[in-house]
Chains A and B, each alone.
Chain A
Amino acid sequence: MSLAAQAPRFRATVILTLFAMVAAPAALIIYQSFLSAPFFDEAARPSLEAYQFILTDPEFYRALWTTTLYAVGMVVVAVPLGGLLAFLITRTDLKGRRWLEPLVLVPMFLSSIVLAFGYTVAVGPSGFVTIAFRSVFGAAPWSIYTLPGIILIGGLSHVPTVYLYVASAMRRLPSDLEEAARTAGASVWRVSLDVTLPMVLPALVFSAALNLLLGFETFGIPLVLGDPNGILVLTTYIYKVNTIFGAPTYQVMAAVTVFLILITLPLVFIQRRLLRHARRFAAVGGKGARTNLLKLGAAGQVIALSIIGLWLLVSVVLPVGGIILRAFVENWGEGIRLSEQLTLANFQRVFELPSLSRGIVNTILLAAIGGAVAVAFYLVVGLAGHRNHGRTGTLLDYSVLVPRALPGLIVGLAFFWLFLFVPFLVPLRTTLFSLLIAYIIVGLSYGLRIIQATLLQVAPELEESARTAGADTFRTWRDVVIPLVRPGLAGAWAMIMIVFLREYATGVYLMSAGTEVIGSLMVSLLTSGAMDQIAALSFISILLTAVGLTLALRLGAKIHD
């Protein structure tokens, strides 16, 4: 036992509260999956009906198979490409690599429903590019509403996640390791292959595992792009199950979720182990200035820039450009000049509809104020776990893993149930508070990681010297730790704000009249096919994200720890 075990009551209270917040939705889902009817129904009996149903439903097996293909395919697309981009931008003398880096990260900040919609309006069957291509060449040889199309788009949009991990591993690589190989007689390319690649392998493996997890939990892209041809993944199967039955079938949704958790939870644990391993590798590092960038040469520059340019065109320019254009036109097609069709009518309609304009305000409120509340909450949790090597510290470690194994859609659904039936929560259901709680849980692992990394930057002696000077644990936090991490908190707030801005799945079930948010509105508008409004909302969402990102960079947020 060391100093860490001080203020145990505070730590235990906070961590147990957090545990309750993550365990309640998970437990409720598991409980629901073993009932014959919704858990609040008098007629609900313990039963395996839900499992019997899905295990005999060919649609479920097809969705399971599709999800697996999607997740694996995403890894196959994203990992090599992300690794290559990271290598080109961090390790070569590529022209313009400084301003390429933020561009490469753009898809990560956009909600995948916005991205997917962007692909629909750009390269979908009646997308701008498709029509233009068809008018010139007679036919467009692609279809994004197929499984390979969905996988490709999913993979491309997840390149930034891979990029972040691999690029930071490459930057942390101590240059003397490579210099040792150079002096031993290895050529630059040889060194990349024999030293650099093995050293960043843990980061590559980790990002592969992370993308596999994200692949299984994916919702937005298959929802938008898979629906027209009836391609279902597990999350969209859960979402569509109601439509199939024509009535809420909570037990079936819960049972599918349990299956999903059975896949995602092991993945979360594998990732946790991989991350430890990766850290051990990285811990070797000094951070000597890297003097030897690989010289690409003229031909190399052209090839490298073409690869990055093509990726940027497909992953950023197409969807974002498509949305920007679509938001300002109502009619398009062969022979129509778009420049004559420009209009603000889409936005007018959005602002006329109270639910939509409310959604915009709510989204901003949730992101800005909710983001600040979330950061405060993560800070309290972070402090409770700070230098806490006791049993509660371990509990916190595991509590954080639970929401990672649950897709946002499910967390939202579970909180919807909780807010429907837990007595003291009922009056809060129709307020933004219910969404905030669910958002805090969905953003928990990301937000807490930022906060914990910031807290760990405070050298232990700075806290110990306050203690020996006569300050108790709380006083030390108040007078030393919090003032020192304050700049980091501002950055964390901006990053959480972006996460909350792009969130769409959590509100699908949880939002009600008065608590609409942009992302979830888009999900529900998809059913009604109100493309004009979706386009305008997507545009506003991109705009808000851009504002959030600017703010984040201004506040010195670290995009990755």
Chain B
Amino acid sequence: MTDLVVNNVQKWLGGVQILSGASFVAEKGRIVALLGASGSGKTTLLRCIAGLEQPELGIIRIGGTTVLDDKAGVALPPEQRQIGLVFQSYALWPHRTVFDNVAYGLKLRNVPAGEIKAKVEAILEKLGLAHLAARYPDQLSGGQQQRVAICRALVYEPKVLLLDEPLSNLDAKLREEARFWIRKLILDLKICAIMVTHDQAEALAIADQVLLLKGGSIVQSGTPLEIYSKPETFYAADFMGTNNVLSGRLVRTSGHSDMIDCAGLSLAGIWRDREPPADANSVRAVIRMEAISVSPEPSPESAPFDVEGCIYLGEKWEYRLKRGDLRLRAQGHEPLGAAIAHCRIPASATWLYNP
């Protein structure tokens, strides 16, 4: 069942368009990540869904209710949208205890006191916070505050749960844990969740669907696997992962795969852009760092490179390679001893795009 419909939402701020026609739908029991660099409009889009910002154009429906429709003049205030929002700063009310923070949404919905108590205790219990109910927010650790914020947004069973960079204020260890349990919690509760993040690993780990935003519009949407392994534009390809980006000339021969000529090296590749090539003299190749195999020995289809340096990163080594003006980054499990290394770059991993 479709719980959230966002259709062609556009917003301007002082003459600058910060959302240029974002559209997507989200379903119950699924997590959608709004992924993008800072300034891509992802937080603005989330705040528009929440009703904290007012877009000039567009339609938003939450749980079958139209909460925004510029043509019909509908713009429900946030309190009438049946949403829960987890703020980046958590925004726990400092003058209320954990219990009262969580209970507030139920109180506003005129739930009887006994039921409030039961519901709040149940959700605190579920998130392992039951023993903290009487504390004030400033007596909690960051991780505990985050869980209270999630309880507060979930307890009244909103149609849509909105999370604004929910993990950014946690330290690295806690963040990896939180990715897991937040996903599990949302799937358990079978609600629709929208999460804003700038961290691709976070988006890939938590979401069922990732929307990549750029300049206020969605450049690509898909499952984490699709977004990572089948990017359809140069921006999407370059945004995800750690990449080698090469510029060159496209050589197309019938019957063969496409080739890119860059700085004297010809690489076989595949055209991945959703548009046909605009200018064959100027195309880009994106090669994920992990797709390049490096070995001291030459092999068929390999090319020799000068080794500029090896960097130890703990679980792996990063190689800096050079051939004429061409520079590559690759990785492996051992340092390279010789001055020359041989790289094999598979055609299937050389993705060609319009710049």
User: Measuring CB to CB, which residues of chain A are less than 8 angstroms from any residue of chain B?
Assistant: 1-3, 5-6, 459, 461-462, 464-473, 475, 479-480, 483-484
Contacts and interface: CB of A to CB of B under 8 A. Distances in A.
Contacts of B355: none
A466 B83 CA distance: 11
A475 B109 CA distance: 12
Contact of A471 (B52, B79, B81, B94): B79
A483 B95 CA distance: 7
A469 B94 contact: no
B52 A467 contact: yes
B108 A470 contact: yes
Given A2-B52, A461-B91, A479-B104, 20 more contacts: A2-B54, A3-B54, A6-B77, A459-B89, A462-B91, A462-B93, A464-B50, A464-B78, A464-B85, A464-B87, A465-B93, A467-B52, A468-B52, A468-B83, A468-B85, A469-B79, A470-B79, A470-B80, A473-B77, A483-B95
A153 to B, nearest CB: 47
A472 B85 contact: no
Contacts of A473: 77
Interface string B88-112: 1101111100000000110011000
B77 A465 contact: no
A470 B156 contact: yes
Contact of A475 (B80, B95, B108): B108
Contacts of B334: none
A311 to B, nearest CB: 42
A467 B89 contact: no
Interface string B49-74: 01111100000000000000000000
A462 B95 CA distance: 11
A480 B92 CA distance: 10
Contacts of B109: 470
Nearest to A464: B52
A469 B50 contact: no
B54 A469 contact: no
B79 A468 contact: yes
A-B pairs, top 7 by smallest CB distance, nearest first, are A461-B91, A468-B85, A469-B105, A467-B78, A465-B91, A470-B108, A1-B54
Contacts of A5: 54
A1 to B, nearest CB: 5
Tell me if A's interface is mostly helix, strand, loop or mixed. Answer: helix
A484 B78 contact: no
Contacts of B91: 459, 461-462, 464-465
Nearest to B91: A461
A466 B104 contact: yes
B84 interface: yes
A470 B52 contact: no
B94 A468 contact: no
A469 B95 contact: no
Contacts of B162: 468
Contact of A484 (B77, B95, B105): B95
A465 B108 CA distance: 13
Contacts of B85: 464-465, 468
11 contacts: A3-B51, A3-B77, A3-B78, A465-B85, A468-B78, A468-B79, A468-B85, A469-B104, A470-B105, A483-B95, A484-B94
Interface string B12-45: 0000000000000000000000000000000000
Nearest to A463: B91
Interface residues of B, number: 29
Contact of A2 (B53, B92, B108, B156): B53
Contacts of B51: 3, 467-468
B284 interface: no
Contacts of B53: 2-3
Interface string B138-166: 00000000000000110010000010000
Given A1-B54, A461-B89, A472 B95 contact: no
A2 B94 CA distance: 25
A479 B87 CA distance: 18
Contacts of A1: 54
A458 to B, nearest CB: 10
Contacts of A2: 52-54
A319 to B, nearest CB: 44
Nearest to A5: B54
Given A462-B93, A475-B108, A468 B50 contact: yes
A3 B51 CA distance: 7
A39 to B, nearest CB: 46
B152 A469 contact: yes
B56 to A, nearest CB: 9
A484 B96 CA distance: 10
Nearest to A1: B54
A465 B158 CA distance: 14
Contacts of A464: 50, 52, 78, 85, 87, 91
A467 B104 contact: no
A473 B153 CA distance: 18
Nearest to B109: A470
B164 to A, nearest CB: 9
Contacts of B80: 470
Nearest to A470: B108
Given A1-B54, A2-B54, A3-B52, A467 B93 contact: no
A5 B156 CA distance: 26
Contacts of A480: 93
A459 B109 CA distance: 24
Contacts of B79: 467-472, 475
Contacts of A470: 79-80, 105, 108-109, 156
A464 B93 CA distance: 11
Contacts of B89: 459, 461
A388 to B, nearest CB: 14
Contacts of A466: 93, 104
A466 B103 CA distance: 12
Given A3-B53, A470-B79, A470-B109, A465 B94 contact: no
Contacts of B104: 466, 469, 471, 479
Nearest to A486: B95
B77 A467 contact: yes
A157 to B, nearest CB: 41
B86 to A, nearest CB: 9
Chain B CB within 10 A, most for which of A1, A462, A468, A479:
A468
Interface string B322-342: 000000000000000000000
Chain A CB within 10 A, most for which of B83, B91, B92:
B91
Contacts of B94: 462, 484
Nearest to A468: B85
Contacts of B153: 468-469
Contacts of A472: 77, 79
Contacts of A467: 51-52, 77-79
A469 B155 CA distance: 10
B54 A471 contact: no
A393 to B, nearest CB: 16
Chain A CB within 10 A, most for which of B79, B85, B89, B104:
B79
Chain A CB within 10 A, most for which of B78, B87, B94:
B78
Contacts of A475: 79, 108
Nearest to A473: B77
A179 B105 CA distance: 49
Nearest to B77: A6
A465 B88 CA distance: 11
Interface in B102-140: 104-105, 108-109
Nearest to A6: B77
B102 to A, nearest CB: 10
Contacts of A479: 104
Nearest to B95: A483
Interface in B147-193: 152-153, 156, 162
A473 B79 CA distance: 9
Contacts of A462: 91, 93-94
Contacts of B54: 1-3, 5
